Chain A
Amino acid sequence: MSNLLEVHSVSKKFGEFTALNNVSITVPKGSIFGLLGPNGAGKTTLIRVINQITMPDQGHVLLDTEPLQSHHIRDIGYLPEERGLYKSMKVGEQALYLAQLKGMQKGVAKKRLKMWFERLEIGDWWNKKIQELSKGMAQKIQFVVTVLHEPKLLIFDEPFSGFDPINANLIKDEILRLRDEGATVIFSTHRMESVEELCDHIALIHKSNKVLDGNLMDIKRQYKTNTYEIGIDSLNNINLEKELTSKFQVSPAEFKTLGNELKINIKLSKKETANDLLSYLTTKGQVSHFVELIPTANDIFIQTVKNN
């Protein structure tokens, strides 16, 4: 699979402040790429560099193997975190204006807008003014405007903020559908559950540096600790706990069950396998719960940020 976007050693300083320090990322074609990082890490600056809003001091960006040029603006759809619309303009004419700025013909833009408005069930908003709409409604329009010109690369900065769960789901499905139709998506967010749900690749930026990147599953494999969450019921759970504590590296576990079984996390050494553990446990009591603990994106995020 080739890469749609390659960012090569991009640095950017604002006066004394370094916003990006030698950051490189590669975004494979057709992927949903999560750009993660705490507030002020430099995500927005990186996105602005990709959008040619900010010029990097060093490094370069390749879109579809070409160095970024002004005509690439048409190949990118960008939904910024700080987003809004002209308050006193009508929905339809505003969307048309923004579409034309992206280089679309008026007629084509109008046709596609009508289609999108139907799909998102906002067809009767065409002649409303933005100030009459709620925040969530305005967000829907912004989403449509971002994807309307069918760009190769879509960049969403916190796309779900301001949406209720139903509309957030609607937008999520649209993003997945756009990916299936061939678009590549960069997705910047703090909401780890949506990263878990959507992203196949991630990069983590912390204090202007890239600290982690790659395929999400690979990263998880790399971060897993060979720990299993276990629920087991025996005649004497207290004795069993003592025995397990002496034999393995354990920690308390927390999950919901129906009975009074012993809940415990067991970390295995590299030599031991899950099968060994399970067959040992079956001799001790009734095993009701046996799950490998896979690190969540959230765990990885917190761990990486803390370690740096």
Chain B
Amino acid sequence: MNHLQLIIQREYLTKVKNKTFLIMTILSPVIMIVLFSVVAYLSQLNNNKQRTISILDESGLVASIFKDAENTKYEVLQNITLENAKTIVKEKENYGLLYIKKIEDISNSSNHIQFYSKKSPSLTLISSLESKIEKQLYNMKLVEEGVDLDKIEAAKINIDIAQENFTGEKTSKLDSFMKLGFGGVAGYLLFMFIIIYGNMIMRSVIEEKTSRIIEVIISSVKPIQLMLGKIIGTSLAGITQFAIWIILGSVLLTIVSMVFGIDMASAQTPQQELVKQAMENPGINGEIQQAMASFYNLPLANLIIAFILFFIGGYLLYSSLYAAIGAAVDNETDTQQFMLPIIMPLILAVYVGMFTVIEDPHGTVSTLFSFIPFTSPVVMLMRIPFGVPLWQQIVSLLLLVGTFMFTVWFAAKIYRVGILMYGKKPTYKELIKWIRY
């Protein structure tokens, strides 16, 4: 077995057999799932609560529009005073009382409606009541003005602008969401991967320095072999961890939702809720099929290949810098001053991706940053779903590979000198000097 293989093997095995690593690998998805389940369970608990709302409609205009829904029941009170109604609601422990005064003029009805409850009611409930009443009164007003409601209904038009670029590729709004999602996930994944495993590489270099084994090792292998072996071994361990997280996470998720019957969908965020509502809307039915279609519309082959190449290139670029930092210092606290120049372009890349690419995926800023090697992996991965000309991808990749080779060379220089330097914290000036040694 050659040296590089041996080093990769050792790095991988010691990482994977490390107790903290094992615990983190197994515990992280468990913690995530537990948190997720708790949130899902609680919101389900909330949703399942039946509430009854009493309605006292002195105007007689709106009571008829309230239809019992899954979790909300309406109880129309008749021929009693407001005070009596309040007492009844209190005794029955109903959620609240919606009181509508007699309305003479529909245009001037806003201060005729009130809601009484023990606790302050939820915002969504109030706005849903408001919109229901508004709609009813609006329709009534229209009728009053002599408008035919059926005609208005018939005149409703639903527009979905079909987008197509000049080469004939069709897109839609939903496609754009899909693309954003894809690019965002890919870019963010790379960002996280670099931060987590770059740090791991750095720590493992520092460990070799502090345990003083480094000189024994490099009397047998070349420093650059050791550095590359470390980077590759740690990355493989990282990929293993990621894979276990994904597999374990989905298995656990399935088990939990089967055993406890918790509907994971109910743990969704409000935005997702909106999307769901939109989906349920009869007018936009069939969007799921459309979503599937737009998924297949994505340049999948391009995406996957570009993802792999840019991921590897970007990761190696940054991890070699992390290795160089590890070699330059004696302990982790000294790494701070060198971390900033590494973190800055990464964060910049994510910001550019999040704001500029969403706004205009082929604008000057997005294009520029998808060529600069330190930001290109993240930005380009976010741009590619929107269709980037192949030459741009190739040029960007070549720039990335060129820079990567330069940083590996640079890092190897620092590494070679740094691993044998003990005691003092080097300055940037000294690092530059080391390159000439």
14 more contacts with CB within 8 A, not counting A78-B216, A82-B422, A85-B211, are: A15-B433, A15-B436, A70-B222, A73-B220, A83-B212, A83-B213, A83-B215, A83-B216, A86-B207, A86-B213, A98-B220, A101-B6, A101-B220, A102-B220
Which single residue of chain B is at the shortest CB-CB distance from A50?
A: B219
In the complex, the answer to whether B14 meets A89 with C-beta atoms within 8 Å is yes
The CA-CA distance from A48 to B417 in the complex, in Å, is 12
Select A101's contact among B211, B217, B433, B436, beta carbons within 8 Å: B217
In the complex, the answer to whether B6 meets A80 with C-beta atoms within 8 Å is no
Asked if A114 is at the interface of the complex by the 8 Å CB criterion, the answer is: no
A interface footprint on B14-34 (CB within 8 Å = 1, 0 otherwise): 100010000000000000000
Asked if A142 is at the interface of the complex by the 8 Å CB criterion, the answer is: yes
In the complex, the answer to whether A88 meets B18 with C-beta atoms within 8 Å is yes
A82-B422, A88-B18, A89-B14 are contacts. A101–B221 as well, Cβ < 8 Å? yes
B23 to chain A, nearest CB (A): 15
A86 to chain B, nearest CB (A): 6
The CA-CA distance from A51 to B220 in the complex, in Å, is 9
In the complex, the answer to whether A86 meets B220 with C-beta atoms within 8 Å is no
In the complex, the answer to whether A86 meets B14 with C-beta atoms within 8 Å is yes
Asked if B162 is at the interface of the complex by the 8 Å CB criterion, the answer is: no
Q: Which residues of A contact B216 (CB under 8 A)?
A: 78-80, 83-85, 98, 142, 145
Considering the complex, which residues of chain A in the window 71-125 have a beta carbon less than 8 Å from any beta carbon of chain B? 73, 76, 78-80, 82-89, 97-98, 100-102
Which single residue of chain B is at the shortest CB-CB distance from A100?
A: B6
The CA-CA distance from A189 to B422 in the complex, in Å, is 20
Q: Which residues of A contact B218 (CB under 8 A)?
A: 53
The CA-CA distance from A87 to B209 in the complex, in Å, is 12
A76-B219, A80-B219, A88-B18 are contacts. A97–B212 as well, Cβ < 8 Å? no
The CA-CA distance from A15 to B429 in the complex, in Å, is 12
Interchain residue pairs with CB less than 8 A apart (16): A53-B219, A73-B220, A78-B216, A82-B212, A82-B422, A83-B212, A83-B213, A84-B211, A85-B213, A86-B14, A86-B213, A87-B207, A87-B211, A88-B14, A98-B217, A98-B220
In the complex, the answer to whether A14 meets B437 with C-beta atoms within 8 Å is yes
What 5 pairs across the A-B complex have the smallest Cβ distances? A84-B212, A80-B215, A101-B220, A84-B211, A78-B219
The CA-CA distance from A88 to B213 in the complex, in Å, is 12
Which single residue of chain A is at the shortest CB-CB distance from B218?
A: A53
Asked if B73 is at the interface of the complex by the 8 Å CB criterion, the answer is: no
The CA-CA distance from A100 to B437 in the complex, in Å, is 30
A31 to chain B, nearest CB (A): 21
A98-B220, A102-B220 are contacts. A53–B211 as well, Cβ < 8 Å? no
In the complex, the answer to whether A84 meets B213 with C-beta atoms within 8 Å is yes
Which single residue of chain B is at the shortest CB-CB distance from A48?
A: B420
The CA-CA distance from A70 to B213 in the complex, in Å, is 20
Q: Which residues of A contact B220 (CB under 8 A)?
A: 73, 98, 101-102
Asked if B3 is at the interface of the complex by the 8 Å CB criterion, the answer is: yes
The CA-CA distance from A78 to B215 in the complex, in Å, is 9
B interface footprint on A263-300 (CB within 8 Å = 1, 0 otherwise): 00000000000000000000000000000000000000
A interface footprint on B377-419 (CB within 8 Å = 1, 0 otherwise): 0000000000000000000000000000000000000000000
Asked if B161 is at the interface of the complex by the 8 Å CB criterion, the answer is: no
Asked if B10 is at the interface of the complex by the 8 Å CB criterion, the answer is: yes
In the complex, the answer to whether A51 meets B14 with C-beta atoms within 8 Å is no
Q: Which residues of B contact A101 (CB under 8 A)?
A: 3, 6-7, 217, 220-221
Q: Which residues of B contact A76 (CB under 8 A)?
A: 219
Asked if B340 is at the interface of the complex by the 8 Å CB criterion, the answer is: no
Asked if B1 is at the interface of the complex by the 8 Å CB criterion, the answer is: yes
Q: Which residues of A contact B219 (CB under 8 A)?
A: 51-53, 73, 76, 78, 80
Which single residue of chain B is at the shortest CB-CB distance from A57?
A: B437
A107 to chain B, nearest CB (A): 12
Q: Which residues of B contact A84 (CB under 8 A)?
A: 211-213, 216
The CA-CA distance from A55 to B136 in the complex, in Å, is 88
Q: Which residues of A contact B211 (CB under 8 A)?
A: 84-87
Q: Which residues of B contact A73 (CB under 8 A)?
A: 219-220
Which single residue of chain A is at the shortest CB-CB distance from B215?
A: A80
Q: Which residues of B contact A86 (CB under 8 A)?
A: 14, 207-208, 211, 213
Q: Which residues of B contact A85 (CB under 8 A)?
A: 211, 213, 216
Q: Which residues of A contact B422 (CB under 8 A)?
A: 82
B2 to chain A, nearest CB (A): 10
In the complex, the answer to whether A100 meets B215 with C-beta atoms within 8 Å is no
In the complex, the answer to whether A97 meets B215 with C-beta atoms within 8 Å is no
Which single residue of chain B is at the shortest CB-CB distance from A51?
A: B219
Q: Which residues of B contact A102 (CB under 8 A)?
A: 220
Interface centre among A51, A53, A76 (most CB of B within 10 A): A53
Q: Which residues of B contact A80 (CB under 8 A)?
A: 215-216, 219
The CA-CA distance from A98 to B217 in the complex, in Å, is 7
